[in-house]
Amino acid sequence: MKSIPLVVVFVAIGVALTACTPERTLDGALGATSGLLVAGPVGLVAGGVVGATAGPAIASSWGIRGGSHHRRHRRHRGH
């Protein structure tokens, strides 16, 4: 009986993640896997949620994904 609510949670998370972009799906899956390894079933759910919501921002801030690139322009002064 305990497994039915757990299955419902996993299905809900899966549906929510597939509605997002593929990057969020991958980040959610990676977060869920690492959460499962660290904290068990509770970590699985928490890691999936954190990975799906904050994963793309974390990846771009680390330079892993192509985030916004800012080019620095030098202005040449005429003498």
pLDDT digit string (tens) for 10-65? 777 766 656 656 777 788 888 888 888 999 888 888 888 888 888 878 777 877 76
The tokens describing 7, both together, are 């299955």
Cα dist from 1 to 5, 59, 76, whole Å:
8, 38, 72
Beta strand spans in the chain (E):
none
pTM, two decimals, is 0.55
Single out the residue of 38, 60, 34 nearest to residue 48, CA to CA. 34
Q: Which two tokens stand for residue 52?
A: 């799906």
